[in-house]
Amino acid sequence: MPGIKKARIAIVGCGVVGGATAQYLATSEDILTTKTGLQLQLKYVIDKDFTNAKRLGLDEKLFCTDLGKALGDPEVDIVVELVGGINFAKQVIESALKAKKHVVTANKALLAHHQKELLALARANGVCLAFEASCGGGIPLIRAIYDGLMANRIDALYGIVNGTCNYILTSMTQKGLSFEEALSQAQKLGLAEADPTLDISGGDTAHKLTILASLAFARFVPWEAFPVSGIQNLDAYDVTTGGELGYTVKLLAIARRVGEKLSLMVRPAFISKTHPLAWVSGPFNAVSIYGDTVGHTMYYGRGAGGKPTASAIAGDIISIVNGSYAEVFNNNSIWQDTTAPASLASEDEFTARYYLRLMVEDKPGVLANVSAILSEQGIGISSVLQHEHSLDTEKGIPVVITTYKTVEGHVKEALAKIRKLPCSKSEPVCITILDEHAEYS
Ligand code: HSE
């Protein structure tokens, strides 16, 4: 076929994603050639253990335990790193780039920590590093940023990018489960890891935010530069009460342009039940991106799993082989190694509305004291909710206050004073409420 471009591919790591990608490439050669005019041939599946590869029925001729053999094979054009983790995966990618192989990876943790140096190494060797599958699984999100949205200055990004947390929060919201009950159910269904720490602590979402914000705002966002909190301390009472007030809680990756600075964070936040992100349920992911020209756009799909992630990996392979990825990789100034460091706004400067649940004695003057403190900080009260309770002098009773838009630093100062009030019986709960981001702001 005239003009056909051939590429041979080595996959390193044959777990859930590696296996699904190998199976896809091994069975889709004809379809891919018909659709793209490219010939993509899987040549090696590299691992130490081929149990999964055999279960998937992959051709044993592909199996190889020696990465060096694939890297020394001049026919191999692309190495797909799917071993996960940081140290060994980094060695795999570095050796592949030094061997002048293009690299495709889904490894968000590695990219969050070392993306800048790996991008520079790829460039120094005249090859590309592509990572669509690192954020949002099968959702073509990174290519939306580097391609379809390139005409825009990105003003804000709000993402549900961890399926485990979204599954847990959906169960808490829809079934009234506690965090522990929802996590245990997710683990039984295989939707949460046996050790879910990185997911529930917000760490995995932070990895993805580092990657997405760097590209979207064309600034180098270093890892661990912004505050991260997870969902492990969320109380079912607040999920239910937020629901009564018209809100759904989501673990959000938040990024906003504030003048020349970026405001970045990961935290559970209430959003209106009418916001499209509130409808994203179970293990699905979605990201809202606001551009200065396009306004609000949203990207939705499966954020994990073998087949969806294989779809994103295959998309990267196609773009590398047809040359379109090299165009953006070499020419767009959006990559961590070709942009200036981001200047980050402090958490205290963040503006939002807040849900405050105070645990206070039920006696005259309590609300007057609390509202006086909020007033001193210039914080307006939007609603107050107190159900009738039997008096619990030990823990106090919950009084829920929602505020108008204010500055987070003022809320922290107010809470520090409220904690010291004699009527305050236990630690107040504070959850951010995000109104829909104004388009063209
Ligand atoms: N642990 C991740 C999640 C997998 O739950 O979304 C996909 O990155």
Q: What is the pLDDT of residues 221-255, one digit of tens each?
A: 999 999 999 999 999 999 999 999 999 999 999 99
- Whether the pLDDT of residue 391 is over 80: the answer is no
Distance CA(162)–CA(208), nearest Å, equals 9
Q: Is 188 one of the catalytic residues?
A: no
Closest approach atom of ligand 1 to CA 108? 8
Task: Give the confidence band of 26 by pLDDT, cuts at 50, 70, 90.
Answer: very high
Average pLDDT, the chain: 96
| % of the chain residues with pLDDT over 90 | 95
Distance CA(399)–CA(388), nearest Å, equals 10
Q: From the CA of 192, how far away is ligand 1's center (Å)?
A: 9
Q: From the CA of 405, how far away is ligand 1's center (Å)?
A: 32
Q: What is the pLDDT of residues 311-336, one digit of tens each?
A: 999 999 999 999 999 999 999 999 99
- Whether the pLDDT of residue 295 is over 90: the answer is yes
- Average pLDDT, stretch 45-55? 97
Q: From the CA of 164, how far away is ligand 1's center (Å)?
A: 6
- Average pLDDT, stretch 109-134? 98
Which is it for the CA torsion 383, 388, 391, 394, positive or negative? negative
- Distance set, CA 314 to CA 28, 105, 391 (Å): 10, 11, 61
pLDDT at 424: 95
Nearest CA to ligand 1 atom 7: 304
Mutate to test the pocket of ligand 1, among 17, 164, 211 (most ligand atoms within 8 A of CB): 164
Q: CB atoms < 10 A from the CB of 304, how many?
A: 22
pLDDT at 388: 79
Mutate to test the pocket of ligand 1, among 199, 212, 231, 311 (most ligand atoms within 8 A of CB): 199
pLDDT at 3: 59
Closest of 233, 227, 187 to residue 206, by C-alpha: 227
Ligand 1 pocket at CB < 6 A:
137, 162-164, 199, 204, 303-304
Distance CA(70)–CA(72), nearest Å, equals 5
Distance CA(152)–CA(156), nearest Å, equals 11
pLDDT at 1: 45
Angle between helices 163-175 and 179-188 (to 10 degrees): 120
Closest approach atom of ligand 1 to CA 134? 8
Q: What is the pLDDT of residues 65-121, one digit of tens each?
A: 999 999 999 999 999 999 999 999 999 999 999 999 999 999 999 999 999 999 999
Q: 379 with 413: CB under 8 angstroms?
A: no
Closest approach atom of ligand 1 to CA 106? 8
Q: 152 with 210: CB under 8 angstroms?
A: no
Q: From the CA of 358, how far away is ligand 1's center (Å)?
A: 33
Q: Scan for tokens 């009738």, then name that residue.
A: 388
- Whether the pLDDT of residue 191 is over 90: the answer is no
Closest approach atom of ligand 1 to CA 167? 5
**Options 208, 363, 395, 425, the catalytic residue:** 208
Q: From the CA of 135, how far away is ligand 1's center (Å)?
A: 9
| % of the chain residues with pLDDT over 70 | 98
Closest approach atom of ligand 1 to CA 285? 6
Q: What is the pLDDT of residues 297-316, one digit of tens each?
A: 999 999 999 999 999 999 99
Q: What 8-state DSSP symbol labels residue 6? A: E
- Distance set, CA 298 to CA 59, 217, 250, 251 (Å): 39, 17, 16, 16
Q: From the CA of 162, how far away is ligand 1's center (Å)?
A: 5
Q: From the CA of 304, how far away is ligand 1's center (Å)?
A: 5
pLDDT at 149: 98
- Whether the pLDDT of residue 2 is over 60: the answer is no
pLDDT at 101: 98
Nearest CA to ligand 1 atom 8: 304
